[in-house]
């Protein structure tokens, strides 16, 4: 939220990730009262960005840079991974979007010959890589990756591990719902790092 409080507001059990699933989920959140969203942060899930244009066309979209780095690692030689990762990390450590874009384009130029397929993929998603620089520097470290979301995902994985299986989809639904409510209770009064310093700025983005 603009005040820096984390809250799980919805989840979905679905057989696959596609535009229909995301559209239904987003429309459900809108019908429940989520009228405006400033920023969506996601990995490269299929159909998410297209679904946003239908429900929240004014929202900005940031691709998780950690997931982008993992994808790059999977497509380059082992001997090059450490060097490439260290150079790519420089993209989210700049002071401005202009500087970050310059670093990104230098990355393109340096590695295009060896990994043209990787660079081509990055160019295709470039508009979604540096969006976080449009926000106050105090919160940028929290919004260039999905780490805030992953903390909840890790709770689900840890709590579900002792269970061999869920007998029905309903039992899984109840299990996740309980974990979400417990997570929200735990973080109800906590302000995420940096957000407290820029609350007035963030609130000004909303109608």
DSSP assignment of 10-58: -----SS--HHHHHHHHHHHHHTT----SEEEE-S-TTHHHHHHHH-TT
Tens digit of each residue's pLDDT (9 = 90 or more) over 14-55: 988 899 999 999 999 999 999 999 999 998 888 888 999 999
CA-wise closest residue to 6 among 207, 153, 206? 153
Task: Provide the pLDDT confidence category of residue 172 given band limits of 50, 70 and 90.
Answer: very high
Per the CB < 8 A criterion, the answer to whether 56 and 26 are in contact is yes
User: What percent of the chain lies above the pLDDT cut of 70?
Assistant: 100
Q: Which pLDDT score is estimated for 45?
A: 82
Distance CA 156, CA 180 (A): 9
Per the CB < 8 A criterion, the answer to whether 64 and 146 are in contact is yes
Tell me the residue ranges of DSSP E strands in 16-123.
39-42, 60-63
Task: Provide the pLDDT confidence category of residue 6 given band limits of 50, 70 and 90.
Answer: very high
Q: Which pLDDT score is estimated for 161?
A: 87
Task: Provide the pLDDT confidence category of residue 84 given band limits of 50, 70 and 90.
Answer: very high
Tell me the residue ranges of DSSP E strands in the chain.
39-42, 60-63
Task: Provide the pLDDT confidence category of residue 164 given band limits of 50, 70 and 90.
Answer: confident
Q: Which pLDDT score is estimated for 162?
A: 85
Segment 54-75 shows an average pLDDT of 95
Tens digit of each residue's pLDDT (9 = 90 or more) over 90-145: 999 999 999 999 999 999 999 999 999 999 999 999 999 999 999 999 999 999 99
């Amino acid at each position: 939220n603009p005040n820096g409080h984390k809250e799980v507001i919805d989840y979905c059990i679905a057989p696959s990730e596609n535009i229909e699933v995301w559209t239904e989920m987003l429309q459900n959140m809108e019908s429940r009262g989520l009228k405006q969203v400033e920023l969506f942060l996601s990995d490269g899930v299929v159909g998410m960005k297209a679904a946003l244009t239908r429900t929240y066309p004014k929202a900005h979209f940031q691709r998780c840079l950690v997931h982008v780095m993992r994808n790059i690692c999977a497509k380059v030689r082992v001997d090059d991974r450490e060097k490439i990762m260290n150079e790519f990390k420089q993209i989210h450590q700049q002071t401005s979007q202009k500087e970050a874009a310059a670093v990104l384009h230098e990355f393109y130029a340096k590695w295009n010959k060896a990994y043209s397929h990787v660079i081509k993929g990055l160019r295709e998603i470039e508009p979604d890589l540096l969006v976080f620089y449009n926000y106050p520097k105090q919160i940028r470290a929290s919004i260039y990756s999905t780490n805030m979301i992953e903390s909840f995902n890790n709770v689900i994985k840890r709590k579900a591990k002792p269970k061999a299986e869920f007998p029905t989809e309903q039992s899984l639904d109840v299990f996740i719902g309980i974990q979400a409510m417990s997570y929200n209770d735990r973080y109800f009064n906590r302000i995420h790092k940096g957000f407290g310093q820029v609350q007035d700025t963030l609130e000004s983005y909303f109608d």
